[in-house]
Amino acid sequence: MQDYAAHGVQEYWLIDPDERTVEQYLLGDGVFRLHLKLNEEGVLHAKVIQGFSIPLKSIFQE
């Protein structure tokens, strides 16, 4: 995350396939902070890509 922050990446997702969760981190003041943690029932709305959202069920489909 520190490397991404140093290069100006604005949004970062951590996907945990075992727990079936996604954590969304947003860059602010040079550091990433947890913005949202969703389980497989949620919908993730990207902050950097306007209009992009994805239901978590589609990420974890087998």
Dist CA 1 CA 10 (whole Å): 11
Q: For the chain, how many structural domains are there in total? A: 1
Which pLDDT tens digits describe the chain residue by residue (62 residues)? 889 988 999 999 999 999 999 999 999 998 999 999 998 888 999 999 999 999 999 998 87
**The dihedral formed by the CA atoms of 17, 21, 24 and 30, expressed in degrees to the nearest 10:** -70
> What distance in Å separates the CA atoms of residue 39 and residue 16, rounded to the nearest whole number?
10
Q: What is the pLDDT of residue 55?
A: 94
State the maximum Cα–Cα separation within the chain, in Å, rounded to a whole number.
Answer: 38
* Predicted local distance difference test score (pLDDT) of residue 33: 95
Domain limits for position 12: 2-59
